[in-house]
Amino acid sequence: MREQEVSILVGGKAGDGINSAGAVVAQFLNHLGYAPYLYFDYPSLIRGGHNFAIIRGAQKAIGVHRDPVDFVLALNRETVTRHQERFHKNTVIVFNEDTVHADGQGVPVSRILSEEKAPAVMGNSAVIGAFAKAAGIPWDTVHAVFSAHMPKGVDLNLRVARRAYDHVMTVLPIPRLGNRRLSLITGNEAIGLGMVAGGMSFYVSYPMTPSSSLLHFLAENAGRFGITVIHPENEIAVMLMALGLAYGGQRTAVGTSGGGFCLMTEGLSLAGMAEIPVVLLVSQRTGPSTGLPTYTAQSDLHFILHAGQGEFPRFVVAPGDAQDAYLWSAVAMNIAWKFQIPAFILADKTLSEGVYGIDPSGIPAIRVDEPLSWDGTEPYRRYADTPAGISPLTFPGTHGAVVKMNSYAHDESGITTEEAGAVRQMSDKRARKSAGLAAEMETCETVRTNGVPGNGTAIACWGSAKGVCFEVAEEIGLRAVQPVVLSPFPKVQLTYALEGATRLVVVEENATGQFAALLRLHGIAPDATILRYDGRPFSPDALLPRLREVIA
């Protein structure tokens, strides 16, 4: 066991409820005073296959799992055979002895279930109860976590867990730490909460992993958040419906992954030309095409930066963890409406479906900024040219206003034109919005740093790779930088963060070094890239040897 931290692997087949079991284990660690993180690994199928979750608790907030595990909760035999390389000499295996033969703490799951007259689905509670005892977790903690986090059947689950708890011995007690309890949420939940905080009234989405869990979360909670959630016929309709909603005055977001976003690009370009605010979550998975639906990637960066015909301003933010995701999703909503542009939240499977611990008392305060509005003194012109390029907004239904949106090149009133001067005027107007957006971003903290700021060797990363890179930089004393905002490119802040660095190593999860290429485009030359493109996120254990290789 690493000092002041613990890692637990829960494994079984799809349909065994591995993710829910992992969430319960994560709450145990939370209640013991650890900052938890959960990585969930599952194939794209409904039943069968091998699912596992790695739950890690540490003294400080973390955003990545480690490869070695201290405990294994094996719901099937494959969990033991498949993960041997993660075990160390003290790893404790807690297993269902009906199906698994191993050295460790066996639980007679079927006997407990039949004696308690409990359904098969509660078998996990037996293994979880046995784990709690093996790890020296007090029964009060088990009781508190089950009571707060089991959606139903708490009493019966507790009876099943208690039988297993009493059946095994405490073999590797997890010491209690003194940290305050955190809120455990997925990246997609954080994005949804940020959108809600940013004033979203409609969310429109067609299901696509790994964005779907945001659709489910917002649909489930639409009533309490005061929003409406729509699932239309395809992503083309999603995007166009969102633009209609925004034209009608509703702050709207859409969500998808790369394949769905392909279908949204004509609507994206329309948003650029017609100057319509819209927020897009694009959560990346391994491509090209259908690729690996349930595995991660950072290979859509250039696609997002350049999608859509023609030239128009866009805002792209790539949060690195749940805390970032909450803040920047709200910011994206305000930016979209302030500048009347598309604003992207670029995530990936690791961020979207990972579970992070955030301090609920430390979440940033969000203000919903009202967009520039028409004051009614002059006849309304939807594309009135202004020094900042931002035209006052009003919506159809407003007394005395004719609101004309247009996908064609248009004049200030929104009527089609092919006149050269007017075309150039509107293009210049959109360019001034780009400049204004870049200036506004200079007033925000768009680049995060960690590790040793003065070290001559710097790791640059983006998105969810923040978790692994920041941890590794701290561990071996390097500098780490992560631009959260990728468009407009935060050149000033990034240059400042890299001041004095003599060696720059880029770490990203794609095969071509897209972020490294973006840096080069802006005059920052990386010395080396460390790439991973097998659908799995870097762990510190996988990254460290490769990092040592390039900086040796």
Q: What residues line the site for other proteins (CB under 8 A)? A: 30, 148, 181-185, 193, 196-197, 202, 204, 221, 223-226, 228, 230, 232-234, 236-238, 240-250, 252, 266-267, 270, 274, 358, 360, 363, 366, 395-408, 410, 414-416
Burial of 242 (0-12, 13-18, 19+ CB in 10 A): buried
Q: Which is nearer to other proteins, 395 or 533 (CB)?
A: 395
Q: Which is nearer to other proteins, 143 or 181 (CB)?
A: 181
Half-sphere exposure of 430 (CA within 13 A, CB side): 22
Tell me the closest approach of the beta carbon of residue 328 to other proteins, in angstroms: 15
Q: Which is nearer to other proteins, 142 or 301 (CB)?
A: 142
Q: How would you label 296-328 residue by residue, b for 16+ Cβ within 10 Å and e otherwise? A: bbbbbbebbbebbeeebbbbbbbbbbbbbbbbb
Residue 399: count other Cβ atoms within 10 Å of its Cβ. 6
Contact 347, 281 (CB under 8 A): yes
Contact 333, 341 (CB under 8 A): no
The strand pair at 457-460 and 479-483 is best described as parallel
Tell me the closest approach of the beta carbon of residue 182 to other proteins, in angstroms: 7
Q: What is the 3-state secondary structure (H, E, C) of 98-162?
A: CCCCCCCEEECHHHHHHHCCCCHHHHHHHHHHHHHHHCCCCHHHHHHHHHHHCCCCHHHHHHHHH
Q: Which is nearer to other proteins, 67 or 359 (CB)?
A: 359
**Distance separating alpha carbons of residues 101 and 110, to the nearest angstrom:** 15
Tell me the closest approach of the beta carbon of residue 53 to other proteins, in angstroms: 17
Tell me the closest approach of the beta carbon of residue 366 to other proteins, in angstroms: 8
Tell me the closest approach of the beta carbon of residue 128 to other proteins, in angstroms: 18
* Encoded tokens for 123: 């078998």
Which residues does residue 183 pair with via DSSP β-bridges, in sequence order?
358
Tell me the closest approach of the beta carbon of residue 464 to other proteins, in angstroms: 20
Tell me the closest approach of the beta carbon of residue 214 to other proteins, in angstroms: 14
Q: Which is nearer to other proteins, 26 or 317 (CB)?
A: 26
Q: Which is nearer to other proteins, 263 or 544 (CB)?
A: 263
DSSP structure class, residue 373 = B
Tell me the closest approach of the beta carbon of residue 162 to other proteins, in angstroms: 23
Q: Which is nearer to other proteins, 370 or 549 (CB)?
A: 370
Instruction: Please give the C-alpha separations between residue 379 and each of 229, 338, 416, in angstroms, as whole numbers.
Output: 35, 21, 18
Q: Which is nearer to other proteins, 237 or 551 (CB)?
A: 237
Which helix (H) or strand (E) segment holds residue 429: the answer is helix 420-441
